[in-house]
Structure 1
Amino acid sequence: MKVLFISTYDIQGGAAIAATRLLHAVRHAGCDASMVVRAKLGSDTAVFTAGSKKRNTFRFYWERGVIYLYNRLSRENLFDVSIANTGVSITKLPEFKEADVIHLHWINQGMLSIKEIGKILSSGKKVVWTMHDMWPFTGICHHAGACDAYTFGCGHCPYLRTPSRNDLSHIIFKRKHSAYLTGNITFTACSHWLRELAGQSPLTWGQRVTSIPNPIDTGTYCPMDKSEIRKKLNLPLDKKIILFAAVKVADKRKGMDYLVEAAGLMAHHSENLLFLIAGGGGEEIEKQLALPARSMGYISPRQMPELYNAVDLFVTPSLYENLPNTIMEAMACGTPCVGFHIGGIPEMIDHRKNGYVAEYRNARDLANGLIWTLFEADFETLSINARGKVTEEYSQEKVAQQYKEIYEYEGE
């Protein structure tokens, strides 16, 4: 069986990393799978680029430019929405013609246009779409937040400067609806939370909607000797260490304001704690924390398993999440996690069993969770439970088998 994955990137961002991990998983399970991207940043021989770099760059700026003009030259929310008005001609590729299954992932920012999605569906090939955010079933937004307009066709979009019933979100919603009617899609959400939201949108009605988590290599992300790793990384042996990691840690959506506030509430533990911040912009956060902190800067994926093992806890105060790779990675290394009750996080962290789920946007409860996990709970029990959760539910073998069943499913 030939499977063609379609993704904007191969290793840039959580959705791309998840797609590439799944690519490896289904290949290992016996599928002849490859992935086409707009921008290849890794060296995987199973991944190839479609379209010239010059044309792909133009497509990226064309879409952003239309949004920028529509929003009256405002950069606010410029990357919170996508309109898919342009993209690569995937259906002309020989790899597309040879494929039995077309597996879509995150395809925004100039990878696929809505028109091309319609062509893919009308080709008659089996189409699976792994949803890494809400965009496949909303008009234009990737995260709707408190807005439920996607349940009745969008319009009055809070991301637009001049929202109205027939605004850009409603126009794009109708275009998607027309495109989706040209064929069948199996929508797969990475979390039960996202599956429930997807089922409320008219864009998925009449289509199959299911939930399959992202996979992880539990051989690469695994427990190691904490003391040895700390010595290697020149980290103190006598401190409780908390890790936060993100591509852009200063992004407001990552909830750093709440972590800063929580750290202030934990000031009485200042002699016992150290915060590690991995990712771009960590120096800015380091200065704001009331507790000792160290910015690690960019950490390569190859180094992350060691970093997860070096710490006592991983925290993610993120305000919008689906099924975070970082939580899965940390748990696979036996590191307990603390996060807000949002998205798929409560599905991953079993409250007070392998970590702590704090009340959403509640810095005090976030601080309570950090203190409980570090100073009150039994670390060994939390660690064993965290690792066990990942091996039981998120292993490459188990996830790949679930996707193979979808690829081979012939319908009722």
Structure 2
Amino acid sequence: MNRVVITGAGTVNPLGADVPATFAAMQEGRCGIGPLDIADVDRLSIQIGGQVKDYDETTHFNRQQISLYDRFTQFTLLAAREAIGQSGLTFSGALADKSGVVLGTSGGGLNTQDENYRAVYEAGKNRVHPFIVPKLMNNAAASHVSMEWNLRGPSFTVATACASSNHAMGQAFNMVRCGMASVMVTGGSEAMLCFGGIKAWEGLRVMSRDACRPFSATRNGMVQGEGAGVFVFEDYAHAKARGAEILCEVVGFAMSSDASDIVMPSKQGAARAIAGAITDAKLPKDMVGYINAHGTGTAANDKTECAAVADVFGAHADNLMLSSTKSMHGHLIGGTGAVELLACIMALKDGIIAPTIGYEEPDPECALDVVPNVAREASVDVALSNAFAFGGLNAVLALRKH
């Protein structure tokens, strides 16, 4: 089996338009959640979100491209440009044939759907743009990335709600590990902050009106966000032979299904995925120093996740640091695992642990070190990234310092 390393990272999210800006915001404990600037926001009861502000698509794409690229695709292409640029790779010949892209998203082109429902049902128009289907389809971002960088190997999209990105990156990891691909561009994106996207989530009654406060006794729900995270997963021997900078190593991945409830999480299902990733990595549990939690800020998730971590790690759970960056950028749904992987890379490479901001009061059912409010310097050798989705679908990645 091949070793797999990360040689490029890119992002667009509420904390920053690239990786350095995002790292800086995480280190400062900056909050990217604020009032939403969207059409008909006054008709929503939830009026906050982790929105990518000051974003002008016309500065990045021409009119023809904008007619094909939904907001989630635009974010993906910008993040991929940064990641592939950092990797230093160009794809041609045999390498192009052995390189692919697998991305996660939950809603796909939801802004495009929302705009066209308005056109047809509200404005009464009888015609829509001929490119609406290729613009809104969930695989649009993956397809455009493959075309832009000549990635002719395995390319597809994973849609498993809030675990989409982790599932996508897990598939990419296994493809490189087994030799199916030499390089995989992977991660995920979401752009769901439109009227219909928020109104749908309002119906679940799990949304906060003021802030995301994971693990705090005063929490009152999750906050939606948007953005993308994209990475270059590469065969270690290939990366070493060309002298590439290695950000960290991907060493394990596991998936599980709760098989119990469509919205309520299961401690046992989460624990199986966490334990499975460690087993797959062939590492002792006490090597894990940091976990980027799913940490949505809902009582159901936070208590279940902390219980699962305690069950898996036993006494070592007291030595772990576990934080939720959703407190800063919101819940990016299908793109959340990708942006949160950046916190794991920062912990491993730079020795800085992103905090859980907004933490006000301890919850006895979340009695772990959640790195409250302030980033921390700490040496970490192994980190986990958790993602637990509606439908009871769990995906956990394990990474190691290089």
TM-score (norm 2): 0.24
- Bigger relative CO (Cα 8 Å, ≥ 6 apart): 2
- Which structure has the bigger radius of gyration? 1
